[in-house]
């Protein structure tokens, strides 16, 4: 475990931030609220699915009661037919952090969208190029006709993109092409890193993998019992299509065959559970158990919250006394 009393060699004016990261269903929301109430903090969501209104159940969004216990930012900020991409998230998150710190409160970044968390704390400078629906439709048609040709087009424009975009990830391939074509510059060249003005304690929550899968499965069952199917039906009735980023996310897109009469509800539930297990595995690729910048806590330990409070107190004390 790294020494959280050893503050990074950064200017005294750097903003102290506590991040709570880890896989889905591990308990990040509850710990975030505990730390916010203990240290006069406010939560900045780093969960890309919680941006969207009318998507409460499938996103495991903090409830109204939970949000009343601690201020939350970047929750319910867009309609389900809108897109909040990485660039917009970074701008909004940085604005929220600056506002929270200016009021003398502790920013807590809580969420499991690994790319967004890494981009925020590594200082990625992502161009905020607005989506071009017509261009996207053209690229999507090209992808349907020949996905490899679309990848080759990206490689011709931006060979370095292969370092961080997989050829099978058509959504990212299309976005990279869109940004490159609209800006006139290679997508990779626009992704500069500028060290952010933060001193950060990253707390990672984890637990035995099989226990985590069981907890995730139980949460899916609870979502179904709470009315997830009706939530999806309502979104469809409002004209939101399966091609939207919000509707193609985990917990929603799995209902597509059900509403087309091609699958039973039981099959959908099983699919959501299996896809959630896969999602958890991918989250650990972003939040690796050996990552030197994350202090990992076992969420199954009864004193986990006490450990997190102690670590945060030590971090804030060290931050306040570092010249």
Model pLDDT for residues 11-50, shown as the tens digit of each residue: 446 999 999 999 999 999 999 999 999 999 999 999 999 9
Element (H, E) at 202: strand 198-206
Query: Percentage of residues in the chain with pLDDT exceeding 90?
Result: 81
Strand locations in 1-159 (E)? 15-21, 41-45, 72-73, 106-110, 124-125
Mean pLDDT within 205-222: 98
As a CATH number, domain 15-125+195-321 is: 3.40.50.300
Tokens of 78: 């867009």
Please, which pLDDT band fits residue 84 given cuts at 50, 70 and 90? very high
Domains in the chain: boundaries: 15-125+195-321, 133-190
Query: 279 CB contacts (<8 Å, ≥6 apart)?
Result: 23, 24, 250
Distance of CA 307 to the CA centre of its chain: 24
Maximum mean pLDDT: which of 51-60, 127-136, 146-155: 51-60
Instruction: Name which of 291, 282, 294 is nearest 115 in CA terms.
Output: 282
Query: What is the model's pLDDT at position 13?
Result: 60
Mean pLDDT within 77-105: 96
Query: What is the model's pLDDT at position 126?
Result: 85
* β pairing state of 124-125 and 192-193: antiparallel
Please, which pLDDT band fits residue 9 given cuts at 50, 70 and 90? very low
CA distances from 317 to 4, 7, 41, 321 (A): 10, 10, 15, 6
- Residue 20, beta-bridge partner list: 110, 203
Task: Examine the pLDDT at 211 and tell me if it is beyond 80.
Answer: yes
**Any idea which fold 133-190 has?**
Histone, subunit A (1.10.20)
Query: What is the model's pLDDT at position 244?
Result: 93
| Sign of the Cα pseudo-torsion (157, 160, 164, 167, in order) | positive
Task: Examine the pLDDT at 285 and tell me if it is beyond 60.
Answer: yes
Mean pLDDT within 113-142: 91
pLDDT digits (tens, 9 = 90+) for 157-169: 999 987 788 888 8
């Amino acid at each position: 475990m790294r020494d959280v009393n050893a503050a990074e060699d950064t200017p005294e004016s750097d903003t102290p931030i506590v991040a709570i990261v880890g896989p889905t269903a591990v308990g990040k929301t509850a710990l975030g609220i505990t730390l916010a109430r203990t240290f006069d903090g406010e939560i900045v969501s780093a969960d890309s699915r919680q941006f969207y209104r009318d998507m409460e159940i499938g996103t495991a969004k903090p409830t109204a009661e939970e949000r009343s216990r601690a201020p939350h930012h970047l929750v319910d900020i867009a309609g389900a037919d809108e897109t909040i991409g990485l660039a917009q998230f970074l701008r909004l998150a940085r604005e929220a952090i600056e506002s929270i710190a200016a009021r003398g409160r502790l920013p807590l970044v809580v969420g499991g969208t690994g790319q967004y968390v890494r981009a925020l704390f590594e200082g990625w400078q992502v161009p905020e190029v607005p989506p071009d629906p017509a261009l996207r439709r053209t690229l999507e048609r090209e992808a349907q006709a020949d996905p490899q040709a679309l990848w080759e087009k990206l490689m011709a424009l931006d060979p370095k993109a292969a370092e961080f975009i997989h050829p099978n990830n058509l959504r990212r391939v299309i976005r990279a092409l869109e940004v490159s074509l609209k800006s006139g510059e290679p997508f990779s060249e626009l992704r500069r890193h500028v060290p952010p003005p933060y001193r950060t304690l990253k707390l990672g929550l984890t637990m035995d993998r099989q226990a985590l899968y069981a907890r995730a499965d139980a949460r899916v069952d609870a979502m179904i019992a709470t009315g997830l199917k009706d939530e999806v039906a309502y979104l469809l009735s409002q004209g939101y299509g399966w091609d939207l980023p919000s509707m193609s996310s985990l917990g929603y897109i799995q209902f597509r065959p059900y509403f087309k009469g091609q699958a039973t509800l039981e099959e959908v539930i099983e699919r959501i559970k299996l896809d959630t297990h896969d999602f958890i595995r991918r989250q650990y690729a972003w939040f690796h158990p050996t990552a030197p910048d994350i202090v990992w806590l076992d969420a199954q330990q009864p004193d986990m919250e006490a450990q997190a409070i102690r670590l945060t107190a030590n971090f804030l004390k060290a931050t306040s006394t570092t010249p």
